[in-house]
Amino acid sequence: MSELLVILSHTATRDDREAIVKLAPPTQSISDRVWIAQATELPQLRAAKGIAAALTGTEPATALPALNDSETLFAQAWLANRTQKKRRIGEGLDWDTPPMTPP
């Protein structure tokens, strides 16, 4: 399973949303149209009626469809988190592994 950003079209019906939720159940959401989901069937999800976008995180922020301000902020933050991974000194190591010093 991979994490996706699901965005429904403005014209999506309640039935469309229910079918999409079965394919990609929300783990976090900002509205009834925009949510983060775990899904394995990306081609099927992208082909579903009512989908405006199903993003994997490799797309630029310019790929977002028209959203309101809060949805845009949510989507841009998710995209930024997926593309800007920081590498920290000692990441994945025990806290006392050199060059780290105990607190």
User: What digits encode the pLDDT tens for the residues 13-49?
Assistant: 999 999 999 999 999 999 999 999 998 889 999 999 9
**What is the structure's pLDDT at 84?**
66
Domain of residue 12, residue span: 2-83
How far is the first Cα of the chain from the last one, in angstroms, to the nearest whole number?
37
Average pLDDT over residues 62-88: 87
- Residue 62 sits in a domain whose CATH number is 3.30.70
**What is the structure's pLDDT at 85?**
67
Q: Is residue 92 part of a domain?
A: no
- pTM: predicted TM-score of the whole model, two decimal places: 0.78
**The two three-digit tokens of residue 39, written as one number:** 């899904």
Split into its structural domains, the chain has a count of 1
Q: Is residue 59 part of a domain?
A: yes
Q: Is residue 54 part of a domain?
A: yes
Q: Is residue 95 part of a domain?
A: no
Q: Is residue 40 part of a domain?
A: yes
Q: Is residue 98 part of a domain?
A: no
Over 70: is that where the pLDDT of 86 sits? no
* DSSP alpha helix (H) spans, the chain: 14-23, 42-47, 69-83
Q: Is residue 26 part of a domain?
A: yes
Long-range contacts of 67-73 (CB under 8 A, 24+ apart): 67/7, 67/33, 67/34, 68/31, 70/30, 70/31, 71/7, 71/30, 71/31, 71/33, 71/34
Average pLDDT, the chain: 89
**What is the structure's pLDDT at 100?**
72
Q: Is residue 72 part of a domain?
A: yes
